[in-house]
Amino acid sequence: MSGKKNVFDVPTINEQCLICLSPNRAAIRSMSELGATLEEIAVACQLNATDIQKHLDECVGVDDIAGLAGSDDRLLRLLNDATELFHASTLAGNLTAASSALGVRVRALSEAFRRSESRAKHKSFIENADPRDPNTWSEPLRKFLQGYIDQVLENCAAIDDKKKAIQ
Ligand SMILES: [Zn+2]
């Protein structure tokens, strides 16, 4: 496995990789996305840090991680994964792993809180705005939409040019 992976690629399983074959594969990935250290992941999942690093470099791809970190679905999954790991480690009597999983969970919760706060701050941005009536748009919203529409028109023009070129 080599080269940059697209964010939308379906993750493949490398059968030579211990982490790919681990049932905690998804948890490892989401932990890493939220910035858990290799050591934390290794302790929480009881796997080797070097194997995890190799997996993240070769199977997942660093670009992939950076590109998906912002998604709310992933954050929610990380929360669930960390909770599950916490319970599993507690049941297994592994308190080090449990506290590591708890640490990741706290971080995921604080990230979720940060996001909801920042969303509340930006709520006025679209509040009372009617998409069919530009007079109701706030100045930042107007700028945002203008930039977005310009971008769409540019892409359309580029597609038209390509069409003409192959005709
Ligand atoms: Zn792997």
Report how far apart, in Å, the C-alpha atoms of 158 and of each of 144, 147, 155 are. 21, 17, 5
> What's the 124 CA to ligand 1 centre distance in angstroms?
44
Phi-psi group of 10: left, alpha or beta (phi > 0 → left; psi -120 to 50 → alpha; rest → beta): beta
Q: What is the mean pLDDT of the segment spanning 100-117?
A: 81
Q: What is the mean pLDDT of the segment spanning 130-148?
A: 84
Q: Which is more confident, 24 or 2?
A: 24
pLDDT at 17: 92
> What's the 87 CA to ligand 1 centre distance in angstroms?
25
- Of 9-23, 72-86, 113-127, 150-164, which has the strongest mean pLDDT? 150-164
Overall pTM > 0.75: no
Does residue 8 surpass a pLDDT of 70? no
pLDDT at 53: 92
> What's the 43 CA to ligand 1 centre distance in angstroms?
18
> What's the 123 CA to ligand 1 centre distance in angstroms?
40
DSSP assignments along the chain, one per residue: --SPPPTTSPPP--TT-TTTTSTTHHHHHHHHHTT--HHHHHHHHT--HHHHHHHIIIII-HHHHHHHTT-HHHHHHHHHHHHHHHHHHHHTT-HHHHHHHHHHHHHHHHHHHHHHHHHHHTGGGTTT--TT-GGG--HHHHHHHHHHHHHHHHHHHHHHHHHHHH-
Residue 38 tokens, joined: 């290799």
> What's the 99 CA to ligand 1 centre distance in angstroms?
25
For residue range 37-86, what is the model confidence (pLDDT) as tens digits? 889 889 888 899 999 999 988 887 644 444 444 577 777 877 887 888 88
Q: How far apart are CA 39 and CA 104, in angstroms?
A: 12
> What's the 12 CA to ligand 1 centre distance in angstroms?
8
> What's the 65 CA to ligand 1 centre distance in angstroms?
14
